[in-house]
Structure 1
């Protein structure tokens, strides 16, 4: 890592790094946060444990709605019905052809018994 250290007197005050290195560090920090959150979720005694294959599918970037739907043993038709949505709208969301509204995501999360955050694909987010 290349860093320029700026001092105030003898004490280091700032470290300046190239933007690409900053983005790499940001991505690694987010991965660590995701790992910690996942470990806490798995270790929580009152919460449902998440099977390893589900975790792997989510980390590989598979659509979270589809992953949770199949894990719960639901068809698209079943989930759409429980969430009060059309099956075609749900199918488009799973394929990434449409983004779900917050209202739709809340309904899907409730039907799947997961938090709405569990349905957001973290791989699609851009750094701030």
Structure 2
């Protein structure tokens, strides 16, 4: 079945897809809805056993010490929280702020 689409795929020199062109209104809609997306790298790390907090920290290239400093706690206290499967909502909000992401992006 060849359903009509509003996208255009532009191939690069190797013949592999390099760009996708979409209507501007669809682009704007995706930008406003995409604030809470979770990168594939973060999902992969959680599938491999990392907690969402650890997966995000590693994805962002941060050390435990850097995040602990942003939170105003020791590295060892942060490590305990990072490895916890059951963080309180207030803790998730603080962690998210320290990582520069939304709380919803940590709570999956």
TM-score range, shorter chain: 0.5 to 0.7
Per-residue CA distance 1:78-115 (angstroms, 9 max, x = gap): 0011122222121112222x743433321210111212
Measure how far apart 1:56 and its partner are. 2.2
Change (3 A) 1:99 1:84: farther
Partner of 1:71: 59
Partner of 1:21: none
Distance in 2 between residues matched to 1:78 and 1:90, nearest whole Å: 10
Please give the TM-score of this superposition, normalised by the length of structure 1: 0.48
Return 5+ residue gaps in structure 2 as ranges: 1-28
SS in 2 for 1:45: helix
Change (3 A) 1:82 1:116: same
Distance in 2 between residues matched to 1:103 and 1:51, nearest whole Å: 23
Partner of 1:44: 30
Partner of 2:99: 112
How is 1:11-90 mapped onto 2 (pairs within 5 angstroms)? 44-45=30-31, 47=34, 50-59=38-47, 61-90=49-78
Please give the TM-score of this superposition, normalised by the length of structure 2: 0.55
Q: Does the CA-based 8 Å contact 2:42-2:52 persist in structure 1?
A: no
Whichever structure has more helix as a proportion of its residues is 1
Aligned length: 78
